[in-house]
Every structure is written in C-alpha cells, then in structure tokens.
Amino acid sequence: MHKKTYTIIFLLVFLLSSIVSFSQSKKQQELEERRQELSREIKQINDLLFKNKSQQKTQTSLIEDLSYKVSVRQNLIKITNQQANLLTREINTNQKKITELRDELQTLKDNYAKMIVTSYKSKSEQSRVMFLLSSSNFQQAYKRVQYINQYAEYQKEQGELIKVKTLELQETNTALLKQKTDKQKLIDENRVAQRELEVELKQQQSLMASINKNLNNYTAQIREKQREADQIDREIEKIIREAIAESNKNKGTTTAAASKGFALTPEDKILADNFVSSKGKLPWPVEKGVVKLGYGKQPHPVVKTVMIQSNGVRIATEENAPIRAVFNGKVLAVQAIKHGNLSVLIQHGNYVTVYKNLSKVYVKKGDNVTTKQEIGQVFTNPSNKETILNFSIFKESATQNPADWIYKM
C-alpha cells in the first residue's frame, strides 16, 4: 500500500477516536458540573433549612423541607451513577485500546527487527555498489537508487512510529489508572449518599404517616395558603395594570391594544432590551438561597393529589437576608399586602420584577435602583422559622418563569 494511503488511513482512525474521546469527555464534564451543582445545593439546603435543629419547625414545614432534600439527593445519586457508568465504558474502551496498541507495537517491533537484520546483512558499501552496477540500464539503476533511499526512509519512519505508539500506550495507561481512581471515588461518595438517603426516607415516611392521619386538615391548610397567595398575586397584577394604564394616559394613548402594555420612552425601550439580553444571566435576588417551589401549576410537594399554582418561585434563604434588585430599574411600588407583608415592584421597561414577603424596605416609589442593590430584608415566620422570599417576573401583566431568567436557577 502507498505511503500516502497509510497516512490518510492513520489520520482518519486518529480523528475518529479523537471525536469519540472528546464526546465522552464533554459528557463526563457536563455530568461532573451537574453533580457539583447538586452537591452545593444539598449543602445550601442543610445550611438554610436544617442547620439550627433547636428551632422547632411545624410538621408541615419539616416534611416539605425533607421532601425537597430527598428529591435533590435522589438526583445527585442518579447523576453520580451516570458518571460511574460512563467511566466504566471509557475504562473498557481504554483497556481494549491498550490490548490493540500492545499487539500493534509488538508487530511493529518484530518487523523493525527483521528490517534491521536484513539491512545489516546488506549494509556494506560494496554490496550496494554491486547492486547498482548490476543494473541492465541507467533507468533501472536510477530506480534502484530510489529504492535504497525509500527503504532507508521507511526504516526511519518505522522507528518513529514505534516511539509514537509507545508514548500513546503510556498515555492510555495513565488515563486508565485515573479513570479507575475517579470511578472508585464516585462509588464511595454514592455509598455515603445512599446511606444518608435511607435515613431521610425513613424520616419522611414517619412524618408522612403522621400527616396522613390528619390529611383533611393538612389539605385544608394547603388550599388556604393557595387562596392567600392568589389574593396577593391579584393585588400585584392590579398594581401593574394600573401602572400600564397610567403610562398610556400620560402618553395620551387610549387604544385597547396599547393599554395592554407599557407606553415606553426611548430610554425605557433600551432598558427593556438590556433586560431581555440578560435573560438567563440575571443574579439571584438573595446571596444564598434554594428554590423550594418552582413556577407554574404543579402537584403540592407533599400531598400530590392537591394542585397548586405558583406565579413565581419560593426561595428559602438565611434569616435577615438582604434582598437585592436583579437588574437596573425604577421602583414601581412598595406595597403592604394583607397576609403578605411588604412587597417591592421594580420596573425594567415593560418588565417588572416583584419581591414579596419582606420585613423591611429600603427604597420608595420612583427610586432608581441598580443591579444587586439592597432593596429590603426578607421576613422570617416566627411560627415555623421559615425565611422565604417570593420572587416573580412579569412581562407587562403576564407572568414569566424566573428560572428562565436567573442564572442557574
């Protein structure tokens, strides 16, 4: 086979193996990043929800926190298992590759040894000269000179190839040892996680058994909380609709289509565009927090037969935690809402962010605020010791999923 053909085949094989290796490494990296995120989330849950055991939570609050923690730990175990399985496949691939490389290296060495012996037997200058002089014509002599040079070059290439294959074998062996170490570490960590999960599941089952005895009362409490949340949401939406109407009135716009959205100045439009361009990158409204309840209609985290509606997210955070604006804007309203403590609404063009359940507020209507500026302090419920920020995002008067906007929510 021609030297060029050998080179092309070698490059294609190398390229294909590199693509497969890169794909596996990228997947492994994604899984590791997700595993680290879940590990940090469990640490946050422990710090924010379970750190101070002297504070007696209500049974309902405890089962909600525990159920949330169990779900996160189950996800962590699942991701860790996926990592270990992927490492197993990579280990098997590398073990097979090592066997193939050893066989290939041995063949190369055997062939190289034969060439050396042959070359040694015919290495004298006299034999080379006789080989050339025995040519029947000049053309044949020229071809024989080419052959001698090509043979010498081929010997050199084979020697270099042996070096390359030897280095590749060493690197693959090193990678294999690291993969085995990483896999064992994951297995050990998963054993610890499994033991912790078993303890948490027993606690969860015990609490659930107690709650099931008073399921009707608990269901009534959930529905009452939902009614209170709906009432707060209606008041918030009313404030936004009134602000939309006021902006159109000031601009002299009275059409039905215009009244559904804010009448924006050129500066407001720039602010709204900047807000949209930051989608998925906005900072959290608290420095430390975990999302206890996500956005949208969903089964209650404990009583799955009861559906609840969340127009934002519930973020558990530290007691007395400062609340921060997630983007530049203007304070649209500061509202004291029945059953809901204080709320702050900040306008970002035709978008509004809402921070509910505050004990203190540091801003007033009309104030300009900047990203991460402290606007208030979160409220801690004295009865169950929960410190929860209710956070929402609106486009005009329509709710948005905060997880689409806040970084890694």
Poorest-pLDDT segment among 72-76, 156-160, 291-295, 332-336: 156-160
Q: Up-side HSE of residue 49: CA atoms within 13 Å toward CB?
A: 24
Q: Residue 229 in contact with residue 88, Cβ under 8 Å?
A: no
Task: Choose among 377, 270, 289: nearest CA to 327.
Answer: 270
pLDDT digits (tens, 9 = 90+) for 8-43: 545 555 555 555 555 567 898 999 999 999 999 999
| Out of 54-68, 91-105, 115-129, least confident range | 115-129
- Per-residue pLDDT averaged across 280-303, rounded? 94
3-state secondary structure of 388: strand
400 with 353: CB under 8 angstroms?
Answer: no
Q: Which amino acid is at 5?
A: T
Q: How confident is the model at residue 311 (pLDDT cuts 50, 70, 90)?
A: very high
Whether 332 and 347 have beta carbons less than 8 Å apart is answered as yes
Domain at 219-404, CATH from 2.60.40.10, 3.40.980.10, 2.70.70.10, 1.20.120.1200: 2.70.70.10
- Are the C-beta atoms of 371 and 325 separated by less than 8 Å? yes
pLDDT of residue 260: 79
pLDDT of residue 149: 63
Distance between CA atoms of 58 and 55, rounded to whole angstroms? 10
pLDDT at 304: 86
Task: Give the per-residue pLDDT at 257.
Answer: 56
Lowest model confidence (mean pLDDT) among 176-185, 213-222, 254-263, 325-334: 254-263
One-character DSSP codes across 117-150: HHHHHT-SHHHHHHHHHT-SSHHHHHHHHHHHHH
Mean pLDDT of 299-320: 92
| Residue spans of beta strands (DSSP E) within 215-303 | 290-293, 296-299
| Residue 406 to residue 392: CA distance in whole angstroms | 11
Q: What is the CA radius of gyration of the chain?
A: 35
Measured N-to-C along each axis, helices 138-213 and 215-251 cross at an angle, to the nearest 10 degrees, of 110
Q: Which residue has the higher pLDDT, 229 or 254?
A: 229
Q: What per-residue confidence (pLDDT) applies to 96?
A: 85
Distance CA 83, CA 91 (A): 12
Residue of 283, 88, 302, 58 whose CA lies nearest to 176: 88
Residues in the chain, overall count: 409
Q: What is the pTM of this model?
A: 0.71
DSSP state for residue 387 in the 8-state scheme: B
> In the 8-state DSSP scheme, what is residue 284?
P
CATH 2.70.70.10 positions along the chain are 219-404
Q: Is pLDDT of 192 > 90?
A: yes
Q: Burial level of 83, CB count in 10 A (0-12/13-18/19+)?
A: buried
Q: With CA atoms as reference, report the closest residue to 201 among 50, 63, 38.
A: 63
Please tell me which residue, 246 or 14, carries the higher pLDDT value.
Answer: 246
> Is pLDDT above 70 for 238?
yes
pLDDT of residue 200: 93
CB-CB contact of 183 with 81 (8 Å):
no
- pLDDT bracket for residue 179 (50, 70, 90): confident
Name which of 254, 236, 191, 210 is nearest 338 in CA terms. Answer: 236
Calpha distance 92→1 (Å, rounded): 32
Task: Please state, rounded to an integer, the average pLDDT across all residues of the chain.
Answer: 85
Winning range, highest mean pLDDT, from 79-88, 97-106, 364-373: 364-373
Q: Are 313 and 330 in contact (CB under 8 A)?
A: no
Least confident of 19-23, 78-82, 86-90, 91-95: 19-23
Query: What number is the average pLDDT over the span 401-408?
Result: 96
Quote the pLDDT of residue 163. 80
- pLDDT at residue 396 above 90? yes
Whether the CB-CB separation of 251 and 261 falls below 8 Å is answered with no
pLDDT of residue 340: 63
Residue 1 banded pLDDT, cuts 50, 70, 90: very low
Beta strand pairing call for 374-378 and 398-400? unpaired
Residue 52, pLDDT above cutoff 70: no
Query: Can you name the residues that pair with 367 across neighbouring β-strands?
Result: none
Structure-model confidence comparison of residues 88 and 137, the more confident one: 88
Most confident of 17-21, 98-102, 166-170, 399-403: 399-403
Rounded average pLDDT over 167-185: 86
